[in-house]
Structure 1
Amino acid sequence: MAFSALPLPLSTPSPSTQTSIANPPEHLSSSALPLPKLKTPTIRSRLSKLCQEGQPLLARQLFDTLPRPTTVLWNTIIIGFICNNMPNEALLFYAQMKASSPHIKSDSYTYSSTLKACADTRNFKMGKALHCHVLRCLPNPSRIVCNSLLNMYSACYTDFDYSGYDLVRRVFDTMRKRNVVAWNTLVSWYVKTERYAEAVKQFTMMMRMRITPSAVSFVNVFPALSAMGDYKNANVLYGMLLRLGDEYVKDLFAVSSATFMYGELGCLDYARKIFDHCLERNTEIWNTMIGAYVQNNLPIEAISLFFQAVKSEQAILDEVTFLSALTACSQLQQLELAGQLHAFIIKHLRVMPVILQNATIVMYSRCNSVEMSFKIFHKMPERDVVSWNTMVSAFVQNGLDDEALMLVSEMQKQQFMIDSVTVTALLSASSNLRNLDIGKQTHAYLIRHGIQFEGMESYLIDMYAKSGSVRIAERIFKTEYTHDRDQATWNSMIAGYTQNGLTEEAFVVFRQMLEQNLIPNAVTLASILPACNPVGNIDMGKQLHAFSIRQYLDQNVFVGTALIDVYSKCGAITNAENVFTGTHEKNSVTYTTMILGYGQHGMGESSLFVSLNAEIWHCT
């Protein structure tokens, strides 16, 4: 924060005052005069200047030479420490003030500044103590003190349970007069605690109270609208910002926040229009727009904008810029581009931070170059737990499950703690290897260390089912309350039954899922369709096919492949052929399934034709 952002208790001395001290009348001899006693404004301005020059400790030394410093001078040093990012020193200095000078009375500037230090250090205990001081010493605290209390509680209170007694709201309600700063803090507080509807409600209430919002008001409320997916009110509030004039429209924080909001809402055209109309873009605005493209799976647009940023004289590329570019390249899965981007980042940064090296490992892994991923991992001078997890996951995703298990063993030898990400990779590797022993050991580790993560049950069910222990998978599935099961858990159990030939049980779970008003997705259909094969249930296959068409899932490559397999094995090769022809996106499994279907029905020429097509399209 700039030094001028905090209120100073006194203005700087006038030039006439300085002249009278520095230049005594000529008729008086300098030797006859005693050294002039410095007045408080002069001392304060000297202390302020030292703090502004980044020398608060030197200012403190000068302060310590003063016999009886006033409240104004104590405040000056406290503010100086805060503005030089030394909030702990500010709190210690305030404590010294109360201990060594009990006759000195704290004023509004003392409390507001010290509360700012509490907010910066997240010192909730000290902040509450200061609040008590304020209540005892200031019967009618000024607006600046109340705003500082709001800021302190909103900064510190998120780590505590606010559901029963919201101190931020309590302080706000006791304020007699609230300005836009107080309303902004309240809205920001509700956004920070993920009470988005309440944040929008308070912003609306502020408008009804005829308080003109500042640019910060919009910066605070836009994330609430994006989190709620409230496209309509997003347009209304952004339109309001436009009507308030250039000061708001050109505010870089407002531009960045609006771009982020529309990006989160999936309105990339609006986000890009705001970006294009901003002539003076800072790094954050470039990063927000590139990140919006990445988040919405538009890697080509993200990379294109990244190269525009590289050529722009305004843009200063930072770690976030490169992280978005690496993620976009991972989505594109183009090895040549990955190599070029990697080389550019090395040239630009010389030393890559760990977070970018981790992202580079992911990028090469997604580009099917796990060797390059491991090369980067092996050469890393420092690795964090994310580095290890990233490399383990890269091995699993590329079918190198044994290597993943060995790397986890090495990870433990290096004293890195196994977390939920490691466990996820271990369970996937165990499933792929059908290794029940490793799976059970991992499950036991989860229980011993109390590790819980989203989707844990589905990973365990999948591992046990693929390892042939479908009844253990069944017990895990049934221990969960029905309403607590997510779609991934239902899908894993259906797939587990199908893979183990328990088709009736698979259909029972599928019907239970429908009874819970859960709409099957592509994974559900790809899991249940193979259950039609052993019993030759072509009618059920047709019903599922019709459902996939209604839900626009028939073009999914996994659903299409499963439908081809069902129709082929149930004797309806013409239906299989129609599905194959109508599926726009095909992979090697799709072609193989169709070729096998033709072979099973003695249609060798058709099988050969499809095989040749597969070679032409590089799908074999």
Structure 2
Amino acid sequence: MSPPPRCAVSLPLAPTNASATSTGGGGGGGVGGKKAQTHPTASQVRRLCKQGQLDRARLLLVDALPRPPPMLLCNAVLIAYVARALPDHALRLYALLNHAARPAPRSDHYTYSCALTACARTRRLRLGKSVHAQLLRRARALPDTAVLRNSLLNLYASCVRYRGDGGVDVVRRLFDGMPKRNAVSWNTLFGWYVKIGRPQEALELFARMLEDGVRPTPVSFVNVFPAAASDDPSWSLVLYGLLLKHGLEYVNDLFVVSSAIVMFSELGDVQSAWKVFDHTAKKNTEVWNTMITGYVQNGKFAEAMDLFIRLLGSKEVPLDVVTFLSALTAASQSQDGRLGQQLHGYLIKGMHGALPVILGNALVVMYSRCGNVQTAFELFDRLPEMDVVSWNTMVTAFVQNDFDLEGLLLVYQMQKSGFVADSVTLTAVLSAASNTGDLQIGKQAHGYLIRHGFEGEGLESYLIDMYAKSGRIEMAQRVFDGCGDFKRDEVTWNAMIAGYTQSGQPEQAILAFRAMLEAGLEPNSVTLASVLPACDPLGGGISAGKQIHCFAVRRCLDSNVFVGTALVDMYSKCGEISAAEHVFASMSEKSTVSYTTMISGLGQHGFGERAVSLFYSMREKRLKPDAVTFLAVISACNYSGLVEEGLTLYRSMEAYGVAPTPQHHCCVVDLLAKAGRVDEAYEFVEGWGEEGNFVSIWGSLLASCKAQGKQELANLVTERLLRVEKKYGHAGYNVLLSHIFAAESNWSSADSLRKEMRLRGLRKVAGSSWIKVQDATLQNYPKNGHVYSMLHGVDYDRDEII
């Protein structure tokens, strides 16, 4: 047999229930002055094991100590412990028999096999190596059986890790050194390859097993199905065909059925998964749960709920916690709050209000994803029992629904309650810091992350995003550089590229994209959606955008809804509106954001009627417009002078459940003012009362009054703007007011306004422009010095002439 890979250690278990006794001086059979206990009979031990009274069976063996009981009886109890999933009890008995009995009972291959299996179940590799060493010392006295070899293989396959400790070499050496391999040996090996993320090798080993003439067992298919789901979809039908050929014993094994449903579901082949489910004559709860979960994972929420209702009406199969978790997940992901409330009511009624923690957490998630954060928090606050997952769920719910401050306060309360923040908590805190741009909170989370050893747990991308959105792109770059090549995965690169784009550094974003390709990483849809906004006229330009478009087509990523939307936005901003329309028309899937982007692009290029037509086409597709959609289409009407159409769309917002914002009001004011209906615009703003008191609205109306010479109305608007402006402050509108006062020769008011601006530190940002020359963005002419020198010379000549 192969030696253990490292130095063996002694078994660290001490006797627990045996008291130390000394043998008396007289009487050969006396122990401590008492008559020695006789050994239990085999029938006693077997009866107790069969009845599940394992502790009583163990006591019978312990009472016989220090005389060693027959190994046959010890093995019976050890095997029963392992079979009943009590590996810790098995290890304690093994240690007790080997330390308390003098002489110790002679362990046989069944004893060692049980001990090794128990070590594997508890992931105690160090203890398993000790048993392995004991086994090697007695190797010549023991038969070299497949059972013992398989137990050793299972130990190391269960405990060793893939990276850093030579795990592959250890397991393969044990497998290759086996003189004879059975189905259990093969199952253990290719199941382990699936676990360490090497599915292709698992499939190759399965094929080798068949070539060697070893008949697969049901467990063989259970172990190899996940490999087909994660590597080669064509294998799924081949494997299931092989399963059918092995007869009804395999096809009707419910564990195999569940595994086949999972395989097809993960491949997105829900139809095949349903066929497997439907052809299974007798189904248990696990099979039903697996099929419902498969529907949910593939976005088939209606089908999932139909199946759940069928199960609910069936009295043959009981529902469990997993069933309700799957149903609540369907309600969460479909954002069907009404369905979620019905499930909540059924749970309260069926469980008499005593919900398990895991279901309470799922309900919090469901209500938060349906937008009902208040109910989610009330439910969280009433949970009879909480764990870290409960707190993390509620914190994440707050942050995902833009209640960042509430989420951060809850983290503070969580720590006061004695719970320790983990990586999920830090993810939510960093997201909240990103959303609010709160660099101080982000730095505190970064420090906590370092102090508590959370580095390397995938939080780097959140740190990069937080620093980039807080305006510290150099810190984001430092985090990225500190990851090293090994830790830089697609997510980290995506965060860095998005950070450059959001920080107004488009050239750097495109350079990072190229560096990612050079590093051998494959960009995904998120990568392309992050880099395409950098290809605007002032960034990478249309040339870089077209190159990335070609890359997306070659990788079949152009059909992705996020990539398609980013392409539409890029072409629209670069003036290629026909190309934008072509991309939009070719998109197989369109979202509300896709339509909004296309409507905005058409509007900005003066195609208002086409933008309105597209809006109504979106409605026919049963996509619900949001506030941004309405702003885009009303703005399109504004650009094209479609006044009545714009007003109709504005009035229809309430019918869609969308509340108008100041941006919508301002757009309508501009729409009316451009059409010469300034008085109507003023009445419109007045009708909003305090809700219309925004600087942008009154400023837009004032600019329209000035443009159309409505001096009397301009005076009324000026009074309102001055009141509102003092509260908010806006340099641009202060300058506009100053110009109006100057045009009326009201120099004192203009002067006082300018002085007040200086006192308040308000300064109008100077206008500027850029041009592209040979793929370089220029804000200043390279020979500015010569230009100003020439102008100075012209001024001098003019003075001389005069």
- Relative to the length of structure 1, the TM-score reads 0.83
Indicate conservation of the 8 Å contact 2:120/2:156, yes or no.
yes
Tell me the equivalent position of 1:420: 423
Tell me the equivalent position of 2:42: 44
* 2-structure distance, mates of 1:279, 1:554: 38
* 1-structure distance, mates of 2:161, 2:489: 27
2:600 is the counterpart of 1:565? yes
Tell me the equivalent position of 1:148: 151
- Cα deviation, 1:317-376, whole Å, max 9, x if unaligned, reads 111111111111111222221111011112223321111111100101112211111111
- Report the Cα offset of residue 185 of structure 1: 1.7
Q: Helix, strand or coil for the counterpart of 2:587?
A: coil
Tell me the equivalent position of 2:91: 91
Q: Helix, strand or coil for the counterpart of 2:576?
A: helix
Aligned positions of 1:62-211 closer than 5 A: 62-63=60-61, 64-65=63-64, 69-99=69-99, 100-102=101-103, 104-139=105-140, 140-158=143-161, 161-163=164-166, 166-211=169-214
* 1-structure distance, mates of 2:629, 2:95: 73
* 2-structure distance, mates of 1:160, 1:492: 31
Indicate conservation of the 8 Å contact 2:340/2:367, yes or no.
yes
The code of the aligned residue for 2:253 comes to: D
Structure of higher RCO (CA pairs closer than 8 Å, 6+ residues apart): 1
Tell me the equivalent position of 1:340: 342
- Report the Cα offset of residue 151 of structure 1: 2.4
* 2-structure distance, mates of 1:68, 1:603: 99
- Report the Cα offset of residue 565 of structure 1: 3.0
Deviates more, 1:64-73 or 1:305-314: 64-73
Tell me the equivalent position of 1:20: none
Indicate conservation of the 8 Å contact 1:587/1:619, yes or no.
yes
Indicate conservation of the 8 Å contact 2:348/2:355, yes or no.
yes
Aligned positions of 1:451-600 closer than 5 A: 451-452=454-455, 456-469=459-472, 472-473=475-476, 484=489, 486=491, 488-490=494-496, 492-497=498-503, 502=504, 505-506=505-506, 509-510=509-510, 512-513=512-513, 516=516, 518=523, 523-524=529-530, 527-528=533-534, 540-542=574-576, 545=580, 548-549=583-584, 552=587, 555-571=590-606, 573=608, 576-577=611-612, 580=615, 583=618, 584=621, 585=623, 586-600=625-639
Indicate conservation of the 8 Å contact 2:399/2:431, yes or no.
yes
- Cα deviation, 1:538-577, whole Å, max 9, x if unaligned, reads 6724277268448738834324323433443454546645
Indicate conservation of the 8 Å contact 1:108/1:145, yes or no.
yes
Aligned positions of 1:87-486 closer than 5 A: 87-99=87-99, 100-102=101-103, 104-139=105-140, 140-158=143-161, 161-163=164-166, 166-228=169-231, 230-350=232-352, 351-452=354-455, 456-469=459-472, 472-473=475-476, 484=489, 486=491
Alpha carbons of 1:492 and 1:551: their partners in 2 closer, same or farther (altered >3 Å)?
farther
Alpha carbons of 1:473 and 1:545: their partners in 2 closer, same or farther (altered >3 Å)?
farther
- Report the Cα offset of residue 217 of structure 1: 0.8
- Report the Cα offset of residue 430 of structure 1: 2.9
The code of the aligned residue for 1:235 comes to: L
Alpha carbons of 1:596 and 1:478: their partners in 2 closer, same or farther (altered >3 Å)?
farther
The code of the aligned residue for 2:115 comes to: T
Indicate conservation of the 8 Å contact 1:430/1:438, yes or no.
yes
Q: Which runs of 5+ in 1 are unaligned?
A: 1-37
Over aligned residue pairs, what C-alpha RMSD do you find? 3.4
The code of the aligned residue for 1:313 comes to: K
Deviates more, 1:250-259 or 1:153-162: 153-162
- Cα deviation, 1:95-119, whole Å, max 9, x if unaligned, reads 3433424474322222222222322
- Report the Cα offset of residue 238 of structure 1: 0.3
Q: Helix, strand or coil for the counterpart of 1:166?
A: helix
Q: Which runs of 5+ in 2 are unaligned?
A: 1-36, 518-522, 542-569, 660-802
Q: Percent same amino acid among aligned pairs?
A: 41
Out of 632, 638, 646, the position equivalent to 1:607 is: 646
* 1-structure distance, mates of 2:203, 2:322: 29
Alpha carbons of 1:458 and 1:189: their partners in 2 closer, same or farther (altered >3 Å)?
closer
Alpha carbons of 1:598 and 1:525: their partners in 2 closer, same or farther (altered >3 Å)?
farther
Deviates more, 1:43-52 or 1:438-447: 438-447
Structure exhibiting the larger radius of gyration computed from Cα positions: 2
Indicate conservation of the 8 Å contact 2:206/2:224, yes or no.
yes
* 2-structure distance, mates of 1:530, 1:560: 20
* 2-structure distance, mates of 1:577, 1:514: 39
- Report the Cα offset of residue 473 of structure 1: 4.9
Tell me the equivalent position of 1:16: none
- Report the Cα offset of residue 305 of structure 1: 1.1
* 1-structure distance, mates of 2:273, 2:158: 30
Alpha carbons of 1:515 and 1:144: their partners in 2 closer, same or farther (altered >3 Å)?
closer
Deviates more, 1:551-560 or 1:416-425: 551-560
- Cα deviation, 1:283-325, whole Å, max 9, x if unaligned, reads 1111111111111122211111111111122322111111111
Tell me the equivalent position of 2:692: none
- Cα deviation, 1:136-160, whole Å, max 9, x if unaligned, reads 3234511222122222322333498
- Report the Cα offset of residue 507 of structure 1: 5.3
Q: Helix, strand or coil for the counterpart of 1:317?
A: coil
The code of the aligned residue for 1:199 comes to: A
- Report the Cα offset of residue 282 of structure 1: 1.1
Tell me the equivalent position of 2:796: none
Q: Helix, strand or coil for the counterpart of 1:489?
A: helix
